[in-house]
Amino acid sequence: MKKYDPRRCEICGREYIPKRSDQRCCLDAECRKGLQRLNYKEYRETHYAKVLETNRRCMAKRREERIRERNTPKQDTIVAIGYADRQREQTLQMVGKVKVTL
């Protein structure tokens, strides 16, 4: 394993010894998340048109899916045979037994 000189973390500023030659931050989980955010932000700034086009395509696809969902008829979930009997039994189960004696 090759030894590297100590460096300063780009996110938190702490000094660390890198494990790889292209390592930019310490191995802390928060610093790695911060570096991911930083890389994403840099990518968006340098490839703005590409990101914009990708977002537009994605939103258009979502819109088409929503329109397709609205236009497809829903399947009938109520089975007519015995429906009244099932509703009566369900209501009686919710209410419970009623005492009829005084």
User: What SS3 string covers 21-58?
Assistant: CCCCCCCCHHHHHHHHHHHHHHHHHHCHHHHHHHHHHH
Q: Is the pTM of this model over 0.85?
A: no
Categorize the per-residue pLDDT at 95 as very low, low, confident or very high, splitting at 50, 70 and 90. confident
Phi/psi at 16 (nearest 5 deg)? Answer: -145, 165
Around Cβ 9, how many Cβ atoms within 10 Å? 19
Encode pLDDT of 45-88 as tens digits.
999 999 999 999 999 999 999 999 888 887 767 677 888 888 89
| Residues above pLDDT 90, as percent of the chain | 66
- At 32 the pLDDT is 95
